Amino acid sequence: MAEAYIVEAVRTAGGRRGGRLAAWHPADMAAETLDAVIARSGIDPAAVEDVIMGCVSQGGEQGFQVGRGAVLASKLPQSVPAVTIDRQCGSSQQAIQFAAQAVMSGTQDVVMAAGVESMTRVPMGSTGMLFAQAGLGKAKSPRQEEKFPDIQFSQFMGAEMIAQKYGFSRADADAYALESHRRAAAATERGDFAEEIVALTVETPEGEVRHDRDEGIRYDATMESIGAVKLLKEGGIVSAANASQICDGASAVLVVSERALKEHGLTPLARIHNLTVTAGDPVVMLEEPLFATDRALKRAGMSIDDIDLYEVNEAFAPVPLAWLKHVGGDHAKLNVNGGAIALGHPLGASGTKLMATLVHALHKRGGRYGLQTMCEGGGIANVTIIERL
């Protein structure tokens, strides 16, 4: 089977809700990452055969097929098609996998996977809420209600269930959150994100500035400050401080065939080694990355010891903690530059965002294999394994 290669992987620096990226229309923000991929790779924009854009809240400014909107706002010719997909938090990781599958099948040679989410301008849950308020029904169907009576599918409750199942305390979750901030702060100060970040121009009271540092990192975080944040459920362990931050951002990855590498004189950063997606319990919901990783490693003929770095999305602290415990991984290899608790989780953009961080971290640290996984609404999980080149 043909191989699929990653040539470029970029992201914006995260913006807090109502923060520095609040003035950016999501289509324009996504267009900046598409343009950056073209500029950095040097490929002819007309050679791009498709753009696959992940986005969760597809309404308002992220409606009317925001992937196509991003292409039209970019420097790509209007002849480049696009599609917008929703696999919840794994939307743009699935975009990478769809792009790789297109290349590996021989159907296409140059595909851009991307993601965008302005959680300021299109708030999380707003699309469902607005339909419900208009009397247009809810997502849970009568047949689903028969199978799952009186159950509200909730990622927050799933995180609490995982914490209870795997025996994690509030102190465990808070300590993990603190480490996420410390690792992200250290990576920022070292300049480890410099090659993956696309700087955006923003207006501030002090004038026009370049936004090139993740806005959510708390450089002064302590166990005391994190522990002082109110729990989301009495008797639980999850708080806003040990869960992912609401975030605005966009990201993009260029995936090409071996033929495209030669034709366009491109230098690959990584080869895609394995693509896996699985689904399980929609109630616990966030546990599926554990089992998806088992399957991915088995299909790849690998063990967790073969993997040099892991990017496990920090939707809630119990998720990466449970993943690490289940797979028997090395904590030192997990989210080495911090994760969504510190850097933010811009929903549909997080898949390609994590890939940008993983690819560049492998190069900086000299690792060979990297694994990325994402918990997703409905009890689904994607796993992507890459090999640094």
Count other Cβ atoms within 10 Å, centred on residue 113.
31
User: What single letter denotes the amino acid at residue 124?
Assistant: M
Rounded to 5°, the CA angle 7-8-14 comes to 160
Active-site annotation holder among 55, 211, 247, 375:
375
Residue 273 appears among annotated catalytic residues: no
Pair 279, 380: CB distance under 8 Å: yes
Q: Among 126, 64, 57, which residue's Cα sits nearest to residue 91?
A: 57
Rounded to whole angstroms, the Cα distance separating 55 from 157 reads: 23
**Known catalytic residue at 345:** yes
d(CA 294, CA 276): 10
CA distances from 7 to 256, 257, 372 (A): 7, 10, 17
| Single-letter amino acid code for the residue at 178 | L
Annotated catalytic residue within 211, 273, 345, 360 = 345
Secondary structure class of 153 (helix, strand, coil): coil
What tokens does 63 get?
A: 């409606």
Q: What is the DSSP letter of 45?
A: G
DSSP state of 87: B
Q: Where are the beta strands (DSSP E) in 100-150?
A: 110-118
Active-site residue (options: 55, 89, 181, 247): 89
Give CA–CA dist 106/25, Å, rounded.
Answer: 35
Residue 55 known to be catalytic:
no
Catalytic residues: 89, 345, 375
